[in-house]
Amino acid sequence: MKLSMEEVEHVALLARLALSEEEKERFGAQLSSILEYADRINQLDTTRVDPTYHVLPLQNVSRLDERGATLAPDDVFQNAPDRDGSYFRVPRIL
C-alpha cells in the first residue's frame, strides 16, 4: 500500500491542510507503512459480520424542546479570532 503524491495531496485537500513538500514526503511514507500494517484486517472474511458503529444500544437521543441556560455572549466572543460586534468576521466569500 504505497500512497502516491497525488493521493497525499488529495487527502490533504479534503482535510483542509496545507502541507509543505517535506511534510507530503514524510506523511506519505508514514501513512503508507501504517496502512500496510492496517491492511491485515482485510485477511479476514467478514461478509456475515455486522459493523459496530457504537457500543451503546442508544438511538436518536432527544430532549424536550425546552428553553434552558445559554452561554454568555461575552464568554463566547472572547475566543473569536476576529469579531465584529455579535458577528464572527471571516474572509469574504463572494
Partner 1 sequence: MEIYDLTAHELADLLQRGEMTSEEVTGAIFQRIHDVEPDIQAYVTITEEQAYEAARQVDGERRQGKDLPYLAGVPAGLKDVLCTRGIRTTCSSRMLEHFIPPYSATVVEKLAAAGAVFTGKLNMDEFAMGSSTENSAFFPTHNPWDLSRVPGGSSGGPAAAVAAGEAPYALGTDTGGSIRQPASLCGIVGLKPTYGLVSRYGMVAFASSLDQIGPMTKDVRDCALVLNLIAGYDPLDSTSAPGAGLGAVPDYTAFLTGEIRGLRIGVPREFFGDGLDSAVAEAVKASLGKLAGLGAVVDECSFPHAEYSVPCYYLIAPAEASSNLARYDGVHYGYRAVAENGGAYDLMEMYTNTRSQGFGAEVKRRIMLGTYALSSGYYDAYYLQALKLRTLIRDDFNRLFDQFDAIVSPTSPTPPFRLGEKSDDPLSMYLSDVYTIPVNLAGIPAISIPCGYTDGLPVGLQLMGPVFSEGTLLRIAHAFEQDTPYHQDRAPLKRGHAAVSPAGREGGDSHGRL
Binding site for partner 1 (CB under 8 A): 3, 7-8, 10-12, 14-19, 23, 27, 30-31, 33-35, 37-42, 44, 46, 49-56, 58, 61, 63, 71-72, 75-76, 78-82, 88, 90-93
- Helix 5-14 vs helix 21-38: crossing angle, to nearest 10: 100
In angstroms, give the least distance from the CB of 78 to partner 1: 6
List b or e across 65-79, with b for residues whose CB sees 16 or more CB atoms inside 10 angstroms: eeeeeeeeeeeeeee
Q: Cβ 59 to partner 1, closest distance in Å?
A: 10
- What is the grid cell recorded at 67? 428553553
- Least CB distance to partner 1 at residue 63 (A): 6
Nearer to partner 1, 53 or 67 (CB): 53
